[in-house]
Chains A and B, each alone.
Chain A
């Protein structure tokens, strides 16, 4: 008898220890049936089924019965949306905001476009599961700092190596020279600010001249018309694809005056640019639209940049630019709270942007801007199965996200935040041990 009890006890313990393991993502064939499908690019389809196989959306249908190898998830009353894409974050590059040893987004140097954010992305960051269970599946991990702080990379929030996470887009960032004060603590005089601004503009023009020369020599080399050997010059090598318009340049620029100057600069240098930040874009929306420059705006949940601006300017900014004809994506520029991306878009929708455009601003628009619209940003057959199932629209805070798929992998709906909730909602022992 004792022996049996011991065996049972061992078996129970064994099960418990299996459950105590961190759950892994599942790969395979899944059918999400009877859902309201928000395709983003082809309207809303009711009672739809999405069949996921080999990491892709294989089929969109009304079918409800499948072969045995397909795991069926009944989504009656549920909604399916494409995974949300945050067009600017520090996710993966910083773990604890005040601990510099955990921060890898800002390297020494003013002109360092060859720094790869992707190399510093920590796939095991506790911040990543916290983010992806909210339906944000893909983010741009961006460096910051000097004039050219490095290359930003688009990553899917699942994978054990940066390579596994890489979502197919990487490009240099330019912090366009600022003509304003950096904050209330900036005690420089107007003269000093102007002088510094002028110097940085000259530096920028000088760099671009060098890129042009580098391009000329590199092209001549490729054509075999010269044998001039190029020295190791990683800065130029990193900027070359931008110069050749193979990739867009992410230009961080916020103040109206600076946006105008940046518009002139990209036109003059013939650079394919995406403006980011753009907190005063509403002031120059017409000019942005005319120039055909797309923007990644945000954070939307922020205070007006000037004391004399209307309280709702940051909320209304995306809608005002969209109305003027600018292509608008939305970002959080967050680290640990990238999960608030749908609320940044939601506030844009509450304050003037259409609900559809606000959803596009965190799905298909960033996918297009990052040249990955063939894989991400909408629910279409043949695209990557990166999507989520929810109880309602993700803009509403009462909505729960129930399943998340990234690149065909069914993600465990667990994070530090849910784990602590489960452990502490009814703590055991409670008051008395």
Chain B
């Protein structure tokens, strides 16, 4: 009996736990700072009130409801949490590099909430990142948009609930090196890359039509036939054709960017964001006309051949040509100072403060399809906020506190040594990291490369 009782308690605890799997929501009043709303100008000596994880007021002399913590931000800058549209932090695996098409896999199955990179991103004011599959495959895996809710051991806690589905595509050197050169599989050239897409879309279309036909006829009298064989890979690609998934495509050269837009036009696919896109500036009018977006580095170039003929003015040229553009990291290092990366667009192309800050807030939010929730400080949006000492575009900018859903996950005054959640008991020897890691998105591909 006793045993049964404790079993019942355990089950009910589990149920309670599952029902309350909702993440923490906070309440806070940040007072008297310079509030950079991004969508509604900058307001001096203003307050931001967050109730139950959502922004409930922006204005002057807001008063704190009882029990709500007040933070004095006098002389400081309050801006929306920074969003990184290209990252690989908090992932245990990045590339399923075994085939040129792996739409069925999902980085959301390999989330690692223990990655100290999450905390380090928070220390750089970044509240949301796009945990992407790598760039080894022409059609890679699906990605997960995560919120940096540091301190949990549950992978579900860091998912951004309700964020649209996205998938990784890749063009150029990476898929051709890994598959064509490395494994002798198509594609070996940019010609082959195009045909991988055309075949995948055509086959998914046939698959979709076969299911439609089956579903439309299966209840009809006298129907004879079998359902098509279920294929998860084709299901996912069919969802791309249906417009249910945003494609984020690793790309560099202008010609391959044009190629993908032509293919997408042929299959009626519209939701497209070019990632890295070092040569996007060369075809900025075409990208603008298509309505695609671009997520780029501030100044990386020459680390591989396909970025040799590129320029740090890329983001500025794209912006001035009307392309929605963001600055991303693809690096556990750059993600720590995306505000500084965005500031470089003032050196390379004289963007205004407003334009530069949009590159790391509202614009990446649009690229991830979450701009109705985050990317600016507006009443009703999520309480994702960062407080800066000094203007965020100054070299002396230092994030002081970072909030996700109104909960403070980083406070420079409470920062301490060793914030790890999990310590590897077998780790005895110190690991010294490599100095610069270009293209984190080529992780887990070494065994496929001929070098």
Chain A residues near B (Cβ < 8 Å):
95-100, 126-127, 178-186, 190, 193, 254-255, 257, 279, 299, 301-312, 333-337, 339-340, 343, 346-347, 349-351, 395-400, 416-418, 420-421, 424-425, 427, 430-431
**Complex interface: chain A residues within 8 A of B423 (CB):** 308
**Complex interface: chain A residues within 8 A of B274 (CB):** none
Given contacts A97-B304, A310-B417, A424-B281, 16 further A-B contacts (CB under 8 A): A97-B303, A97-B438, A190-B428, A255-B430, A302-B436, A306-B431, A309-B417, A311-B123, A311-B415, A312-B123, A339-B299, A347-B395, A397-B340, A420-B310, A421-B316, A431-B289
Which interface residue of B333, B346, B433, B436 has the most chain A CB atoms within 10 A?
A: B433
Residue B264 CB within 8 A of the other chain: no
Contact A183 B394 (CB under 8 A): no
Contact B302 A420 (CB under 8 A): no
Kindly identify, within residues 361 to 415 of chain B, every residue whose CB is under 8 Å from any CB belonging to chain A: 390, 393-398, 415
**Complex interface: chain A residues within 8 A of B309 (CB):** 416, 420
**Complex CA–CA separation, A346 to B390 (angstroms):** 14
Checking A306, A334, A350, A424 against B282 with a beta-carbon cut-off of 8 angstroms, the contacting residue is A424
Contact B305 A186 (CB under 8 A): no
The SS class assigned to the A binding surface is loop
**Complex interface: chain B residues within 8 A of A299 (CB):** 435-436
Residue B284 CB within 8 A of the other chain: yes
**Complex CA–CA separation, A180 to B349 (angstroms):** 43
**Complex interface: chain A residues within 8 A of B313 (CB):** 417-418, 420-421, 425
Residue B88 CB within 8 A of the other chain: no
Within the complex, the shortest CB–CB distance from B339 to chain A, in Å, comes to 10
Residue B416 CB within 8 A of the other chain: yes
**Complex CA–CA separation, A279 to B395 (angstroms):** 21
Contact B396 A424 (CB under 8 A): no
Checking A98, A308, A311, A425 against B303 with a beta-carbon cut-off of 8 angstroms, the contacting residue is A98
Residue B260 CB within 8 A of the other chain: no
Contact A180 B395 (CB under 8 A): no
| Closest A residue by C-beta to B397 | A350
Which interface residue of B282, B308, B395 has the most chain A CB atoms within 10 A?
A: B395
**Complex interface: chain B residues within 8 A of A349 (CB):** 395-396
**Complex CA–CA separation, A106 to B433 (angstroms):** 20
**Contacts A181-B429, A399-B347, A420-B281 given; does A310 touch B415 at CB 8 Å:** yes
Within the complex, the shortest CB–CB distance from A402 to chain B, in Å, comes to 12
Within the complex, the shortest CB–CB distance from A139 to chain B, in Å, comes to 15
Residue B265 CB within 8 A of the other chain: no
Contact B286 A307 (CB under 8 A): no
> Could you name 19 residue pairs across A and B whose Cβ atoms are closer than 8 Å?
A96-B305, A181-B430, A182-B432, A182-B434, A184-B431, A184-B433, A279-B432, A309-B417, A312-B415, A337-B300, A350-B390, A398-B346, A417-B312, A417-B313, A417-B348, A420-B313, A421-B313, A424-B311, A424-B317
**Complex interface: chain A residues within 8 A of B299 (CB):** 337, 339-340
Contact A303 B432 (CB under 8 A): no
**Contacts A98-B304, A350-B395 given; does A425 touch B317 at CB 8 Å:** yes
**Complex interface: chain B residues within 8 A of A396 (CB):** 394-395
Task: Return the CB mask of B278-314 against A: 1 if under 8 Å, else 0.
Answer: 0001101110010000000001111111001111110
Contact B416 A310 (CB under 8 A): yes
Checking A184, A351, A418, A425 against B398 with a beta-carbon cut-off of 8 angstroms, the contacting residue is A351
Contact B285 A395 (CB under 8 A): no
Contact A190 B395 (CB under 8 A): no
Contact B435 A333 (CB under 8 A): yes
Contact B415 A416 (CB under 8 A): no
**Complex interface: chain B residues within 8 A of A350 (CB):** 390, 395-398
**Complex CA–CA separation, A401 to B123 (angstroms):** 30
Residue B116 CB within 8 A of the other chain: yes
Contact A98 B333 (CB under 8 A): no
**Complex CA–CA separation, A100 to B449 (angstroms):** 14
The SS class assigned to the B binding surface is loop
**Complex CA–CA separation, A96 to B119 (angstroms):** 33
Which interface residue of B123, B336, B394, B430 has the most chain A CB atoms within 10 A?
A: B430
**Complex interface: chain A residues within 8 A of B416 (CB):** 310
**Complex interface: chain B residues within 8 A of A185 (CB):** 446
**Contacts A96-B308, A184-B431, A425-B320 given; does A336 touch B418 at CB 8 Å:** no
Question: What 8 A-B pairs have minimum CB-CB distances, sorted nearest first?
Answer: A97-B303, A336-B302, A346-B395, A421-B313, A98-B304, A308-B418, A420-B311, A397-B343
A-B pair count, CB < 8 Å, reads 169
| Closest B residue by C-beta to A334 | B436
Within the complex, the shortest CB–CB distance from A305 to chain B, in Å, comes to 5
**Contacts A301-B337, A420-B310, A420-B313 given; does A190 touch B332 at CB 8 Å:** no
| Closest B residue by C-beta to A358 | B395
Contact A96 B302 (CB under 8 A): yes
**Complex interface: chain B residues within 8 A of A254 (CB):** 432
**Complex CA–CA separation, A424 to B432 (angstroms):** 42
Residue B242 CB within 8 A of the other chain: no
Contact B432 A97 (CB under 8 A): no
| Closest B residue by C-beta to A99 | B305
Contact A397 B415 (CB under 8 A): no
| Closest B residue by C-beta to A302 | B333
Within the complex, the shortest CB–CB distance from B440 to chain A, in Å, comes to 11
Within the complex, the shortest CB–CB distance from B396 to chain A, in Å, comes to 5
Contact A311 B120 (CB under 8 A): yes
Residue B420 CB within 8 A of the other chain: yes
Within the complex, the shortest CB–CB distance from A30 to chain B, in Å, comes to 24
Task: Return the CB mask of B3-41 against A: 1 if under 8 Å, else 0.
Answer: 000000000000000000000000000000000000000
**Complex CA–CA separation, A193 to B427 (angstroms):** 13
Contact A98 B305 (CB under 8 A): yes
**Complex CA–CA separation, A178 to B433 (angstroms):** 12
**Complex CA–CA separation, A183 to B347 (angstroms):** 34
Contact A343 B417 (CB under 8 A): no
**Complex interface: chain B residues within 8 A of A397 (CB):** 340, 343-344, 346-347, 393, 395
**Complex interface: chain B residues within 8 A of A305 (CB):** 430-433
| Closest A residue by C-beta to B282 | A424
**Complex CA–CA separation, A303 to B89 (angstroms):** 13
Contact A335 B302 (CB under 8 A): yes
**Complex interface: chain A residues within 8 A of B301 (CB):** 336-337, 417
| Closest B residue by C-beta to A254 | B432
**Complex CA–CA separation, A347 to B397 (angstroms):** 9
**Complex CA–CA separation, A396 to B344 (angstroms):** 9
Contact A303 B395 (CB under 8 A): no
| Closest B residue by C-beta to A279 | B432
**Complex CA–CA separation, A305 to B336 (angstroms):** 14
**Complex interface: chain B residues within 8 A of A340 (CB):** 299
Within the complex, the shortest CB–CB distance from A319 to chain B, in Å, comes to 13
Contact A190 B429 (CB under 8 A): yes
Contact A347 B337 (CB under 8 A): yes
**Complex CA–CA separation, A425 to B244 (angstroms):** 34
**Complex CA–CA separation, A354 to B432 (angstroms):** 28
Contact B289 A398 (CB under 8 A): no
Contact A302 B435 (CB under 8 A): yes
| Closest A residue by C-beta to B342 | A397
| Closest A residue by C-beta to B398 | A350
Contact A343 B336 (CB under 8 A): no
Contact B417 A395 (CB under 8 A): no
Contact B285 A430 (CB under 8 A): yes
**Complex CA–CA separation, A306 to B417 (angstroms):** 11
Within the complex, the shortest CB–CB distance from A304 to chain B, in Å, comes to 8
**Complex interface: chain A residues within 8 A of B123 (CB):** 311-312
| Closest B residue by C-beta to A345 | B395
**Complex interface: chain B residues within 8 A of A427 (CB):** 282, 284-285
**Complex interface: chain B residues within 8 A of A431 (CB):** 285-286, 289
Contact A421 B433 (CB under 8 A): no
| Closest A residue by C-beta to B430 | A180
**Complex CA–CA separation, A213 to B419 (angstroms):** 51
